[in-house]
Homo-oligomer: A and B are copies of this chain.
Amino acid sequence: MSELTIKGENSKKASLAISKLSTVAKNELLMRAAEHLDKNIPYILEANEIDLHNARKAGIKDSLIDRLLLTEDRIQAMASGLRQIAKLRDPVGEVLHMENRPNGLKIGKKRVPIGVVGIIFESRPNVTIDAFGLCFKSGNAVLLRGGKEAIHSNLALVSIVRNALEEMELSPDIIQIVENTSRESAYEMMQLNEYLDVLIPRGGAGLIEAVVKNSTVPVIETGIGNCHIFIDANANIEMAVRIVDNAKTQRTGVCNACEKLLIHKEIAEIFLPEIHKLFISKNVEMRGDEKAKTICADIIMATEEDWHTEYLDLVIGIKIVDHLEEAIGHIQKYGTGHSEAIVTESYSNAQRFLDEVDAAAVYVNASTRFTDGEEFGFGAEIGISTQKLHARGPMGLEELTSTKYIIYGSGQIR
């Protein structure tokens, strides 16, 4: 049996145990694991040092090394994340509705854990702890498979949580990490239907695409955001500048940042110079269509590829459109179904945009940056789903649960 089959089976067994745990026991474990993380900072940093050393030796670029890097602060942040999760409401066991059928059957729909959650991620070791915390609180076992760059850090983090589980006489297999970080192990995990109930990829577009295309385990697709903001003809200019500025520049490397600006032709000559001035001052590179260049000549000509690209950088694509329909059509064609916004004072256009744009989150007069579990009031998130099955948008604890029907009878037959 391969490592994955063995660990898959262990996860399945552990998931049965955890599904029976009380909320009190789960919260106690989360607090204890947080304590162990705090106490073991030197041990974690030592393991992380090996990963950093190997990464530097392999000539890996600085931005990746930063993702890999753990510090005392970062480890404390993971621990405090677990304490936060302990404070969140436990979704398991909630009966969403229960009704009396005419024959007297009482049929209720009850939240239950999903079972075993597989997470495939890249180089950020904090995913190990964050994902564990959310999966554990929602009653799921988690099987992690991180990138090879972070394997020593991940192993250290996982062993600390496993110790905490064992101290409380819980199955340590509630959290497991795949030690074989070869490409093959990732592909094997994508076919582990017998043991995994769901697979969530966390990382860049390449990883997500590979998982979606190759996985027969149900996948929740997360995170690619080629987000647009459409400035309608009668937008409030000051508000439009503020929202676009925030959505583009407040943080660039995130999936809910604005990547494309669509401007109604009737407002372009007033709005574009305003935002252009601001972008120049903030070193935002502008790539636009011909009409945009006619208004601000120093805008770089955009290519077809630009309209598809999630820059995750201080770059923005700019297009002047003739009307709302053209804006919606453009979003339909190039959007990734993440977050889309309109800035408008028109009631009808706001409603049409909300109705017709097909995305996880559709905004009127607000920054796309709000698509986030914390901002939506979920307390934490495991990712932002951009697919339509099971969960769409920020995924909190509730999205890590399934349901079952419970039926109270008194001898009914058909």
Contacts and interface: CB of A to CB of B under 8 A. Distances in A.
A318 B361 CA distance: 52
- For chain A, what secondary structure do more than half of its interface residues adopt (helix, strand, loop), or is it mixed? mixed
Contacts of A129: none
B99 A377 contact: yes
Nearest to A218: B389
Given A388-B402, A404-B392, A239 B411 contact: yes
A402 to B, nearest CB: 4
Interface residues of A, number: 69
A198 B219 CA distance: 12
Nearest to A377: B101
B360 A405 contact: yes
B377 A411 contact: no
Contact of A414 (B105, B355, B367, B402): B367
A170 interface: no
Contact of A404 (B214, B366, B393): B393
A227 B223 CA distance: 39
Given A363-B407, A364-B408, A414-B250, A212 B197 contact: no
A412 B366 contact: yes
Given A413-B367, A414-B370, A392 B403 contact: yes
Contacts of A80: none
A213 interface: yes
A404 B360 contact: yes
Contacts of A219: 218
Contacts of A213: 193, 216
Contact of A369 (B16, B112, B408, B414): B414
Contacts of A246: 413-414
A136 B16 CA distance: 39
B406 A362 contact: yes
A281 B317 CA distance: 77
A274 interface: no
Nearest to A361: B405
Interface in A189-236: 193, 197-198, 212-216, 218-220, 236
Contacts of A247: 413
A242 interface: yes
Given A212-B193, A218-B387, A377-B101, A354 B406 contact: yes
Which among A101, A214, A220, A367 has the greatest number of chain B C-beta atoms within 10 A?
Answer: A367
Contacts of A363: 407, 409
A63 interface: no
Given A219-B218, A354-B406, A412 B361 contact: no
Interface string A153-174: 0000000000000000000000
Contacts of A389: 114, 197-198, 218, 220, 389-390, 402
21 contacts: A20-B355, A107-B377, A114-B388, A197-B387, A218-B218, A218-B387, A243-B411, A246-B413, A250-B413, A358-B404, A361-B406, A361-B407, A363-B407, A364-B407, A365-B409, A366-B408, A367-B414, A369-B414, A389-B402, A390-B390, A392-B405
